[in-house]
Structure 1
Amino acid sequence: MTTYEATYCPRCGTELGTTHVDGRDRQYCASCDRVEWRNPVPCAGVAVVDPERGALLTRRDVEPGVGKWTLAGGHMEVEESPERAAARELAEETNVRVDPEDLDLLDAYTLTRGDGKYVVSMGYVVHARHATGTPEPGPEVQTVGWFTPDEFAASDHRYLEPHDQRFERAWTHVTED
């Protein structure tokens, strides 16, 4: 399996050709006699929402979207559940900790980046009363901040899409309960 389209077989180094499987052309290694499946990268993130302060957002310091605002999240690691990945990414990016068992599934979406990378992102939400720690930026984050939808809309800040949609769903989930 590969994340990006490959030119050579990752197992034997032979240049890949194509074969037709399941109604689509797929990359194929004639030497290994196997299809090189291309799969999306699983990611997970979490919105910490406090109805008084807003949702905790991060301003990115790495690509994609340097300088844009997102909810904390990133790639899942091997043998890690989506909930654990979301909680780990939150701690790494904001110094805020939550128990993965306190997370509510908010949404899931697929995303294609301009560089050909496909992502499946699972989003979670948690009320701030279940969170501990003082928000501060981790190594991949310029700054962190609490924003209500109205405050963010009134600012000159910009989201890395589709975090705007996840932010709105998270806000609604917590404030309308």
Structure 2
Amino acid sequence: MRARSAKIRGWLVTLVSTSLVMGLGTSPLVKAQQNIVPGNAMTVRSDIQEANSKTGVITARGNVQVFYPARKMQATSAQAQYFSRERRLVMTGNVYVLQEGNSIRAETMTYLVDEGRFIATPQTSQQVESIYLVQDNETSPQPAASPLPAPIPSPSLPAAPIINPQ
């Protein structure tokens, strides 16, 4: 009985997957994928994901992880929605983003893919936290400047007379 149940489950997964792919054939999701440059893929992992072929919105819920190597970005949140037509990612629920050593925490974060811009908003009565790596312009510390030596009087000039005020 277990073998038959597993076989039916496998068949249903194949059927649903095939139906989704065939149904998405003319959707904005597939059209967006046709313009992908290799290496620019954004990977989303989560407990549950749904895709709406009519609106082009992909929703991920539960332990969401986003990886976008082209922008050296990693993120985690409770939920994420990718709006494929606008190329906009909206993450909600304890959002944490790490990009090239810089990080930001917020309740809601919108990432505009084409602009490479984040818009972060906190929970009510809270704040957004950002940590940025700031590099000094100088690569090594410079020694402190030594004082200039006192000028040596020139022997060719006569000495100024000393005036005694009375």
**Short-chain TM bin:** under 0.3
The two structures have a TM-score, normalised by structure 2, of 0.23
